[in-house]
Amino acid sequence: MAATSSNLHRARELPSNTPLTGTVRYRAGTPGLIDDATGMDLSIDLIGESVTLLGEGDRVLYLLAPGQGIIVTDRLVAADSLTHAPLIDELDDGRLRFDAPQGLILQAGQARVELRADGTVLLDGREIQAVADGLNRLLGARIELN
């Protein structure tokens, strides 16, 4: 993606390929940033894949890359906020582990999967299907149907 001409015009005073900091702002649902040093309002051209869920007011690290534009490379957090384990870990076998001590909810429209801290798993949806090429097993102290 090429840099927008407005970004290059506004940011031409900024050094290229030097990490800079800014604060995220949204206009009409589109993220941009305010450069911390100059106060310039800049559009974001690219966002690093590992940077997720940018929120209004988040502090970010970014670069002005020639031919690329404004690239947000990371979100900045206070050092003392990192005293807990990461929310997402990649395990040695390639699986991801989400560690949410109070619970985890995945929702898409009317479909919802909830994992509670007490060990309860809730599946809620208009229709729930279980399909298996082999054995489809239900185990429990008691199984209720209807």
What number is the average pLDDT over the span 115-140? 93
Question: Which range has highest mean pLDDT (35-44, 87-96, 113-122)?
Answer: 113-122
Sketch out the chain's domains with CATH numbers.
Answer: 5-76 (2.40.50.140), 84-124 (no CATH)
* C-alpha–C-alpha distance, residues 135 and 76, integer Å: 48
Percent of the chain scoring above 70 in pLDDT: 85
Average pLDDT of every residue of the chain: 84
d(CA 48, CA 42): 17
- pLDDT band, residue 12 (cuts 50/70/90): low
**Is 25 or 84 the better-scoring residue by pLDDT?**
25
Whether pLDDT at 4 is above 70: no
Phi and psi angles of residue 5, each rounded to the nearest 5 degrees, phi first = -65, -35
Given a contact cutoff of 8 angstroms between Cβ atoms, the answer to whether 41 and 34 are in contact is: yes
Predicted confidence (pLDDT) at residue 9 exceeds the cutoff of 50: no
CA distances from 139 to 119, 136, 144 (A): 15, 10, 11
* pLDDT at site 100: 85
- DSSP string over the chain: -PPPHHHHHHHTTSPTTS-EEEEEEEETTEEEEEETTT--EEE--EE-TT-----TT-EEEEEEETTTEEEEEEEE--GGGG-S--SEEE-TTS-EEE--TTEEEEEETTEEEEEETTS-EEEE-S------SS------S-----
